[in-house]
Copies of this chain bind each other. A is one copy, B any other.
């Protein structure tokens, strides 16, 4: 079930085809996952979203590619985005996440979920030392 229906021949649109070709080249794989197949209903949204994902996630940077996927999982789990949890967990495994690392990731994000609730329930005042504006 979804809220839009992808066209029968998505790549008949040259803008869509160009993005899909770049996804395949960047990932060195023929597989195009549903995120892109469904976003293709609006070529401009497809283009801008892919450009940003490519720039942030597929470009060498100060953080390790596996760490980036774990951060993506952390946000996606907290937002309860089922599709995103699946796709980024699969990506993290492809990038080498071991079962022990996966378990540790779960331990951290579930502990954060727990202490977030405690801090909010207590309505903790922020310690002055944490304020970057004063340091």
Determine the main DSSP class of A at the interface with B. Answer: helix
A contact residues, range: 35 or more
Residues of B within 8 A of A104 (CB): 56, 61-63
Question: What separation, in Å, do the CA atoms of A55 and B51 have in the docked complex?
Answer: 15
The number of times this chain is found in the oligomer is 6
Residues of B within 8 A of A109 (CB): 71, 74-75, 117, 121
User: Would you call B76 and A75 a contact (CB within 8 A)?
Assistant: no
Which residues of A pack against B, CB within 8 Å? 1-5, 31, 33-35, 38-39, 41-42, 44-45, 48-49, 52-53, 55-57, 61-63, 67-68, 70-87, 89-90, 98-127, 129-133, 135
Give the residue of B41, B68, B111, B130 whose beta carbon is less than 8 angstroms from that of A52. Answer: B111
